[in-house]
Amino acid sequence: MAFLENFLALLIYVVCGVAAAYYYYHVKRRELLGGFWGASVIGLVGAVVVGMITSIDAWFNRLVSWLMIPKFGDSFQVPVNLIAAVISGLVSVAIHNRINHNKERRF
């Protein structure tokens, strides 16, 4: 049974890597080192590495849960979703930058 679970996990990683390579190589038409197959290998390695990092002792899930509803101790809870606040702030500044035609600062 463990073999089947590992095989299924590897199959999912392969599909994710090939899908990423397909998107960048065929849809966005980007020139990639090694072409489609080189990008597939890099996508597979990236999927495995990030998948392993985020699954170690579920620390990533606890971090995301804390960022969504920060708690300090048992009684003090901050009513702000930090992830949404940071992402919306970055998107707002990016839109502001595009309105300004992406100009560089000069000193």
Overall domain count for the chain: 1
Residue 105 falls inside a structural domain: no
Going by pLDDT thresholds of 50, 70 and 90, the confidence category of residue 105 is low
**CB-CB contact of 34 with 41 (8 Å):** yes
Instruction: Let me know if residue 66 belongs to a domain.
Output: yes
Per-residue pLDDT at 50: 84
pLDDT tier for residue 49 given thresholds of 50, 70 and 90: confident
- The reply to whether 104 falls in a domain is no
Say if 38 falls within a structural domain: yes
In a domain, 107, yes or no: no
Instruction: Determine, yes or no, domain membership for 44.
Output: yes
Examine residue 81 and state whether it is found in any structural domain, yes or no.
Answer: yes
Mean local confidence (pLDDT), 59-76:
82
| pTM (2 d.p.) | 0.58
Extract the tokens encoding 75.
């009684």
State the Cα–Cα distance between residues 71 and 78, nearest whole angstrom. 6
pLDDT of residue 42: 93
Q: Tell me which residue range forms the domain holding 81.
A: 2-99
The pLDDT of 27-49, averaged and rounded, is 89
Tell me, yes or no, whether 37 lies in a domain. Answer: yes
